[in-house]
Amino acid sequence: MTLLLMFLGMIALVTINVPIAVALGVIALIAMVVTSGAAAIPNAGLVLFTGATSFPLIAIPLFILAGAIMNATGISRRLIAFASALFGAIRGGLAMVSISASLFFAEISGSAVADVAALGSILIPAMKKRGYSTPFAAAVTSSSATLAVIIPPSIPMIIYGVMSESSIVELFVAGVIPGVVGGILLMAVAYLLALRNGFPVEHAFQLRRVWTTFRDAGWALLLPVIILGGIFTGWVTATEGAGLAVVAALVVGGLIYREIDLAALRSAALDGGVQTAVVMLLVATSALLGDYLTEAQVPQRVADSIIGITESRWAILALLNVFFLAIGLFLHSAAAIILVVPVVMPLVHAAGIDPVHFGLVVTLNLGIGQQTPPVASVLVTACSVAKADIWDVSKVNVYFVAVLLAVLVMVTYLPAVPMSLVELFYR
């Protein structure tokens, strides 16, 4: 009952346009005062400060900045040219370019919204110019960016790792195979839609063109090797890897390619700072709420009530999938992870579910939420870039969302797929 009242109170505040982070803090303070009296208020400031000073969270602004540098220094353009040389000979080749470039770009930025904003501004107009329908161009760009959040480095995974006290490196590794499989499936769907709609072939395959674009993009292609290689081998932590990403992007873009758009970089850095501030305020106020919930033993009671219904790990995963899909309709991924994960983790542990496996399930669920209105943050960004109606895009995007759901089912009920590399290298 306590959890329900708190949730209803938060929804009431959000509906009158109170920011989610502020609503979390207000509800937590009210609950603390009602339970422990005004004496609990002085401790709130300390809890807020402690919650926002987690070292792994420093990776978030650094990865966002690395993505901004990539886009402002011509790195993104070179990656798109190389992908075009590889896939341009296939019908609907620009869709393949969009998918492959999104998966690669996410290996630096870790952000689906940044992915759409950076690559969509280049690829969506190009697709429209070549005769692709506007809804298709927006849908394929949006869905491939969302799939990319399970490929390392992933900002939602970083937040989940902090909130659940799980290994961020293992979360990154677990996302590799599902991300690649999902990318191949997205390309297959894009190809079938291209055949049905008669989308063009860009050019004949030329090995010389592949070699030329590969040579031009060679340094850019080394970026994820350096960054992820350092993280996976244990030479650097995920946070240090984020700093390495910034330095590497500056060296490659600024010193080697000698291209830098300072105005675009400044704008992207400011946007990244705003995104980071929003996340950090959410983390701080969620720590306050988590402190209260822990003292009231609410998560433990939730776990006991669900275990009382079923002890089957697969049934519990199904319930949690439905729950997170529903939450994703109304909350951004960072807010949903921060608000809900601490509540359900006792249930996850009690059911014997691996926290790393569950982290991938959560990330995919909330990624699908980025494609489904009313919130649909990534879809809205793609529609804004494409100047398209969100419902027209959604009618096409349903095919790509089906792929994301198929990947979710695979990850949920075939845990060996995401966890095989984790078991091989870390356990």
Q: What pLDDT sits at residue 346? A: 84
> What's the CA gap between 242 and 288, in Å, rounded?
27
> What's the CA gap between 269 and 364, in Å, rounded?
27
Q: What pLDDT sits at residue 54? A: 66
Contact 157, 168 (CB under 8 A): yes
Angle at 227 (CA atoms; ends 226, 231), nearest 5 degrees: 115
Categorize the per-residue pLDDT at 400 as very low, low, confident or very high, splitting at 50, 70 and 90.
Answer: very high
Categorize the per-residue pLDDT at 408 as very low, low, confident or very high, splitting at 50, 70 and 90.
Answer: very high
Categorize the per-residue pLDDT at 154 as very low, low, confident or very high, splitting at 50, 70 and 90.
Answer: confident
Identity of residue 41: I
> What's the CA gap between 427 and 423, in Å, rounded?
5
Q: Cα torsion at 293, 295, 300, 301 (round to 10°)? A: -80
Q: What pLDDT sits at residue 285? A: 75
> What's the CA gap between 219 and 57, in Å, rounded?
28
Tell whether the model's pLDDT for residue 73 goes beyond 90. no
Contact 174, 356 (CB under 8 A): yes
> What are the respective helix, strand and coil percentages of the chain, to the nearest 5?
80, 0, 20
Measured CA to CA in angstroms, residue 335 lies from 6, 39, 195, 269 at distances of: 15, 28, 39, 22
Q: What pLDDT sits at residue 403? A: 92
Q: What pLDDT sits at residue 272? A: 66
Q: What pLDDT sits at residue 56? A: 66
Q: What pLDDT sits at residue 241? A: 76
Q: What pLDDT sits at residue 335? A: 72
Categorize the per-residue pLDDT at 192 as very low, low, confident or very high, splitting at 50, 70 and 90.
Answer: very high
Q: Summarize the confidence of residues 42-48 as an average pLDDT.
A: 71
pLDDT averaged over every residue in the chain: 79
254 vs 397, higher pLDDT: 397
Q: What pLDDT sits at residue 30? A: 78
Categorize the per-residue pLDDT at 131 as very low, low, confident or very high, splitting at 50, 70 and 90.
Answer: confident
Identify the weakest region by mean pLDDT among 11-15, 110-114, 349-353: 110-114
Q: What pLDDT sits at residue 280? A: 72
pTM here is 0.77
Categorize the per-residue pLDDT at 234 as very low, low, confident or very high, splitting at 50, 70 and 90.
Answer: confident
Q: What pLDDT sits at residue 405? A: 93
Tell whether the model's pLDDT for residue 113 goes beyond 80. no
Q: What pLDDT sits at residue 356? A: 93
Closest CA to 334 of 288, 370, 299: 370
Identify the weakest region by mean pLDDT among 69-78, 167-176, 406-415: 69-78
Categorize the per-residue pLDDT at 358 as very low, low, confident or very high, splitting at 50, 70 and 90.
Answer: very high
Q: Summarize the confidence of residues 134-152 as an average pLDDT.
A: 85
Categorize the per-residue pLDDT at 410 as very low, low, confident or very high, splitting at 50, 70 and 90.
Answer: very high
Return contacts of 16-19, CB within 8 angstroms, 24+ apart.
19/281
Categorize the per-residue pLDDT at 413 as very low, low, confident or very high, splitting at 50, 70 and 90.
Answer: very high
Q: What pLDDT sits at residue 148? A: 74
Categorize the per-residue pLDDT at 200 as very low, low, confident or very high, splitting at 50, 70 and 90.
Answer: confident
Contact 171, 161 (CB under 8 A): yes
Tell whether the model's pLDDT for residue 178 goes beyond 80. yes
Q: What pLDDT sits at residue 412? A: 93
Q: Summarize the confidence of residues 17-41 as an average pLDDT.
A: 74
Tell whether the model's pLDDT for residue 209 goes beyond 80. yes
What sign does the dihedral 173-179-184-185 (CA atoms) show?
positive
Q: What pLDDT sits at residue 359? A: 92
Q: Summarize the confidence of residues 202-206 as an average pLDDT.
A: 75
Categorize the per-residue pLDDT at 402 as very low, low, confident or very high, splitting at 50, 70 and 90.
Answer: very high
